Structure 1
Amino acid sequence: MTQAPPTPKAVRRAHDREIIALAVPAFGALVAEPLFVMVDSAIVGHLGTAQLAGLAVASSLLLTAVSIFVFLAYATTAAVARRVGAGDLQSAIRQGMDGIWLAILLGAVTLAAVIPTAPAIVDLLGASDTAAPYAITYLRISALGIPAMLIVLAATGVLRGLQDTKTPLYVAIGGFAANAALNAGLVYGAGLGIAGSAWGTVLAQWAMAVAYLVVVVRGARRHHASLRPDAAGIRACAQAGAPLLVRTLSLRAILMIATAVAARLGDADIAAHQIIISLWNLLAFALDAIAIAGQAIIGRYLGAGDEQGARGACRRMVQWGIASGVVLGVLVVATSPLFLPLFTSDSAVQDVALPALIVVAVSVPVSGVVFVLDGVLMGAGDGPYLAWAMLLTLAVFAPVALLVPTLGGGLTALWLAMTLMMTVRLLTLWLRTRSGRWIVTGATR
């Protein structure tokens, strides 16, 4: 007896279950690194203003390094998910190990570069004479954790590709708890000051890396996958990640230009911009969780040769992105009277921030679709297109944003330029997904 095909409603429910199962744990894991910095800031802040200023400079460099190398997670997720879809778990884990070996190599090179150049880097960022020694101390010690941070990125990509976002969540929770305890104990209990905070973070990061490696190595042994470094595989991972690196650097350039323009508008504007960009980053974490689910799901469908399933999952995730954006936008508007006073009591800053905040709220549904389609194309391994699309977006955004101080409109005009940036991204991503050129089935692209 032939089984009836599933109804559209049943298909949507199946997609919903997959998206929720992957996105919810992914969101928890995404906030781990910012929470590390928040704990460090809270503990170091009680040591003094100079120590906190030094931490601010050093941590911004470390977070930048993590964001630049995030392609280790994204490219690995897509590649592993394809092989999972093709039913070749041994090859999937082997691909993941290549990504981890690349992370180790990049971490070692970055570590070797940061330690001797720490004073010059801190000076370049304009740290004061009182803050610079603390920034150098923190940066040099924390640099020892960079290889661990990159291993975590790559291993997270492996597990996401294997459709497992719960393990990264558990590791993130454990790492956060360990970081908080170690920082408090070493800074105050052992009396190491800001150096204790750096050592606590390094130890927590390496503990997370070891936890991930244990999970991946167990999987490799279970499926008889080689753990040895493979030059060809590592080179392939680097080539796959290069376009995503271009995409990430272009996005970082956009955010840096926005901050530089806000600084030129005045103290109230840059203060308000800092508040809004913090909220924007939080919204991005929520929306990126759906995108991460998209990377894993789309990669698996394409690896299995299921073109119809990939298209269906893409449509459903776009609906999720729109709905999530609408809900988040309404929440931003509803909570803005409570949100702004949490960050500043300066009425001038609040007056500047409020209209810009409304612009952000209205544009969140656009951002929701952008994040989802970005994740879909990453899952499809369509990195070269993402790189060119982001370069185009940068080319459109930069002149518009740089004209804001001349043409007027203040911070609201700047965030209208940011909305234009997201709209350009939406158009480029929508045209690509509509064309169907991203749909390449098989274990490899």
Structure 2
Amino acid sequence: MPLTLGSGRRHDRQILRLALPAFGALVAEPLFLLTDTVIVSRLPAPALGAVGVASTVLSLLVGLCVFLAYGTTAAVARQIGAGNTRQAIRQGVDGLWLAAGVGLAIIVVVWPLAPWLVHLIGAEGELFRQAVTYLRISLLGVPAMLLVLAGTGVLRGMQDTRTPLLVSVGSFTLNAVLNVVFVLGLGWGVAGSAWGTVLAQSLAAAVYLALIFGRQRAPLRPDLAGIRAAGSAGIALVIRTACLQAVLLIAAGVATRMGEDQIAAHTIATRIWTLLALALDAIAIAGQAITGRALGAGDVAGTREATWRMVVWGIGSGVVLGLLVVVARPFVPAVFDANPFVTGELLDLLWVVAVLQPIAGVVFVLDGVLIGAGDQRYLAWAGVWTTLAYLPASLLVIVSGGGLVMLWMALGVWMVARMITLGLRAYGTRWLVIGA
């Protein structure tokens, strides 16, 4: 859809106002987690490995609960657009109660299963013992972590991405300080690292609760019907997220079958992909907030214009990120101290990573737009179908004895399938449901 110069600039300002702080909040977490890794790495082995094993389980659990942020953002933004500020806060509170309930349920279910889950990953001996310790202590912080996700969603839905940035930076800074004190100062080992994270997450959750129940004067009483509605909408997003996780796990499994050097190169490429995804995800978060508010206000034309503008931003950002990968490509292996074989594999992979960035830009943006529109059911089905499209491509890699480049080309098939399914939906009108 063609835009006038004035409307284009207006959308640009709105996108940047939301996306830039969101990007800062997204980047803050991995940077401070990296600080935790550096601190724990000073402990005798197998401390670092134990944290890595436990973090694998925690990342999977929290990743499946990201719907608490995304679904809440969409619901609150739509009510804000419709002018129903009180109802927006009410839906935000429903999301917070759901987060608390899911967090407590995770503790009850996963605590007794912790040894089995750690053993399933392959940990034994002292590695097993320390991993179970870290996982069980960290589980105590899961309700707070999920409250942070829901609280972030509330503020994003209210078009505020700056406050989540400040809370994110503050909590992860506190996390780093507590890790130094508990791990290095008091000598608590991996347990100290876990307790530092739990306390930092709990303080962040308390800040969000104070902002929402204090500044916004939200009702504290839970609304069971609203919580059930939020949970029902979240199921579709869980399916979508599970499909994404499944594809990445399959890719890691195929790379592992190829050998130690191949999985090392694949892991480095995946870390780079994840870092680049943070920039694109910031635009997607802006898409959630902008789309929800515009549809809530009944502005279909404005929604279309903003969507097209965000797609342009996604493509442009993807091109820039792809070029940065090409420029940085010769220097990346040295940063990770890669051996000659890993270096050769990685240099080939980075070409594929670079080429896929513009496609990823479109996929991330349209995913955010449709989440903002509340089109979760379609996203769940699209996740299933695109995963099914990926499976034959990954199987072909195994059967043909293909290498890492072929594996990442299979991931490219998956990304193209996602772009097609999301693009067809966005081109149509069924997702353009207006009103509160």
- TM-score normalised according to structure 2 size: 0.98
2:152 and 2:4 map into 1 onto residues whose CA distance is 33
Per-residue CA deviations over 1:341-393 (Å, capped at 9, x if unaligned) read: 11133010010111111011011000000000000000000000000011001
Moved over 6 A (4+): none
The answer to whether residue 48 in structure 2 is matched with residue 52 in structure 1 is: yes
Give, as a single letter, the amino acid of the residue that structure 1 aligns with 2:267.
Q
Aligned positions of 1:82-121 closer than 5 A: 82-121=78-117
The answer to whether residue 349 in structure 2 is matched with residue 353 in structure 1 is: no
Assess if the C-alpha contact under 8 Å between 1:104 and 1:151 holds in 2: yes
The answer to whether residue 406 in structure 2 is matched with residue 406 in structure 1 is: no
1:4: which partner in 2? none
2:214: which partner in 1? 218
Assess if the C-alpha contact under 8 Å between 1:145 and 1:205 holds in 2: yes
Assess if the C-alpha contact under 8 Å between 1:82 and 1:442 holds in 2: yes
Aligned positions of 1:409-420 closer than 5 A: 409-420=402-413
1:229: which partner in 2? 222
Assess if the C-alpha contact under 8 Å between 2:32 and 2:173 holds in 1: no
Structure 2: any 5+ residue segments left out of the alignment? none
Give, as a single letter, the amino acid of the residue that structure 2 aligns with 1:76.
T
2:130: which partner in 1? 134
Q: 2:24 aligns with which of 12, 24, 28?
A: 28
1:3: which partner in 2? none
Q: CA deviation at 1:31?
A: 2.8
The answer to whether residue 211 in structure 2 is matched with residue 244 in structure 1 is: no
- Bigger mean CA deviation after superposition, 22-31 or 167-176: 22-31
1:408 and 1:28 map into 2 onto residues whose CA distance is 41
Identity of counterpart residues, as a percentage?
55
Assess if the C-alpha contact under 8 Å between 1:37 and 1:59 holds in 2: no
Q: 2:316 aligns with which of 323, 345, 358?
A: 323
Q: CA deviation at 1:190?
A: 1.3
Q: CA RMSD in A?
A: 1.0
Q: Secondary structure at the match of 1:47?
A: coil
Q: CA deviation at 1:36?
A: 4.2
2:360 and 2:274 map into 1 onto residues whose CA distance is 12
2:381: which partner in 1? 388
Aligned positions of 1:103-182 closer than 5 A: 103-182=99-178
2:70: which partner in 1? 74
1:201 and 1:50 map into 2 onto residues whose CA distance is 19
Q: CA deviation at 1:160?
A: 0.4
The answer to whether residue 183 in structure 2 is matched with residue 187 in structure 1 is: yes
2:102 and 2:29 map into 1 onto residues whose CA distance is 19
1:83 and 1:234 map into 2 onto residues whose CA distance is 16
Per-residue CA deviations over 1:113-147 (Å, capped at 9, x if unaligned) read: 22222111111111131211110111111111000
Q: Secondary structure at the match of 1:210?
A: helix
2:249 and 2:29 map into 1 onto residues whose CA distance is 20
2:57 and 2:35 map into 1 onto residues whose CA distance is 17
1:344 and 1:235 map into 2 onto residues whose CA distance is 50
- Bigger mean CA deviation after superposition, 179-188 or 395-404: 395-404
Give, as a single letter, the amino acid of the residue that structure 2 aligns with 1:50.
P
1:18: which partner in 2? 14
2:396 and 2:203 map into 1 onto residues whose CA distance is 47
The answer to whether residue 257 in structure 2 is matched with residue 264 in structure 1 is: yes
Over 3 Å counting, the alpha-carbon distance change for 1:187 and 1:48 in structure 2 is same
1:283: which partner in 2? 276
Assess if the C-alpha contact under 8 Å between 1:51 and 1:194 holds in 2: yes
Aligned length: 434
Q: Secondary structure at the match of 1:49?
A: coil
- Bigger mean CA deviation after superposition, 180-189 or 210-219: 210-219
Give, as a single letter, the amino acid of the residue that structure 1 aligns with 2:16.
I
- TM-score normalised according to structure 1 size: 0.96
1:36 and 1:436 map into 2 onto residues whose CA distance is 42
2:430 and 2:292 map into 1 onto residues whose CA distance is 15
Q: 1:333 aligns with which of 326, 332, 342?
A: 326
